[in-house]
Amino acid sequence: MDFGLNDEAALALQIDRLMRRFHSDLHPRALRVDREKVGPIGGMILYVISESDPITAQEISATLGRDKSQISRIVSLLIQKGLVEKSAAAGDARRSELRLSQKGALQLAAFNGAMVETTKTLLAHLDSAEIDQFSELLSKSLEQSRSD
Peptide bond into 28 cis (omega under 30): no
- Global confidence as pTM: 0.80
The alpha helices in 34-127, defined as continuous H runs, are: 39-51, 57-64, 68-80, 102-122
- Residue-wise pLDDT tens digits, 14-35: 999 999 999 999 999 999 999 9
Topology annotation, domain 7-147: Arc Repressor Mutant, subunit A (1.10.10)
Instruction: State the pLDDT at residue 2.
Output: 53
